[in-house]
Amino acid sequence: MMSATRAMTSALSLMLVCLVGCSSIKQPTATFQSMNVTGLTAEGFTMAFDVNVQNPNAVALPISQANYKVGFAGVNVLEGKAKPDATLPANGSVPVKLPVNITFENLLAAEKAIVNGGGKLPYAFTGDLAFNAGDSGNALSKALGQSPSVPLKYEGTLDVKQLLSDPKVLTSPAAKKLASQLMTSFFSR
């Protein structure tokens, strides 16, 4: 009974917004705050993307999933989904952390770029955050002209050389290969 009451409240809130003017319903937005490398192991590491999501509407939106792609030096190496446990409050914002696990095997796809960049690797993170608007989702989708979601895009540089300087990662054959290629490149310059 409690979930039916919440659904009814969300639907009524959306109807109120539409009475004021459906043209005033706006798409949520997202702003990247940072990317931090965490959880470094012999197998790989986690790129933790911190995003601040803003909701300019009078209806709260639970985040149902994040879809993402990670590319290194223009090569798409990983696609995945995450389930952030957050609700975007009405007329508010919420920080969301999107962890992406990367293996040293994934980095081998960009081996040449890592060597040519002296251990610095450009990356691109793209995707979207999808929302579950409950019973109000259909009305909100119609008002926005699409399913409620927020596009994500961020580019930066990953310091692979620094990651490979940690002795615990050098038990990985892929990490050893990358470190060896970097050292050979360094001494041949």
d(CA 117, CA 22): 50
Collapsing DSSP to helix, strand or coil, 75 comes out as strand
Give me the pLDDT at residue 147, please.
Answer: 63
Give me the pLDDT at residue 19, please.
Answer: 45
For residue 134, with 0-12 CB atoms within 10 Å meaning exposed, 13-18 middle and 19 or more buried, which class applies?
buried
Give me the pLDDT at residue 123, please.
Answer: 97
What are the percentages of helix, strand and coil residues in the chain, rounded to 5? 35, 40, 20
Beta strands in the chain (DSSP E): 29-38, 44-54, 61-72, 75-82, 87-88, 93-103, 120-131, 149-159
User: pLDDT averaged over consecutive 10-residue blocks of the chain (189 residues)?
Assistant: 49 48 72 96 96 92 93 94 90 95 94 93 96 59 63 96 94 93 74
For the record, the structure tokens of 133 come out as 């608007």
Give me the pLDDT at residue 2, please.
Answer: 46
Under a CB-based contact definition with an 8 Å cutoff, are residues 61 and 113 in contact? no
Please name the amino acid found at residue 140.
L
Beta bridge partners of 121: 158
Give me the pLDDT at residue 20, please.
Answer: 45
DSSP state of 148: S
Collapsing DSSP to helix, strand or coil, 145 comes out as coil
Map tokens 């608007």 to a residue. 133
What is the CB-side half-sphere exposure of residue 61 using CA atoms within 13 A? 32
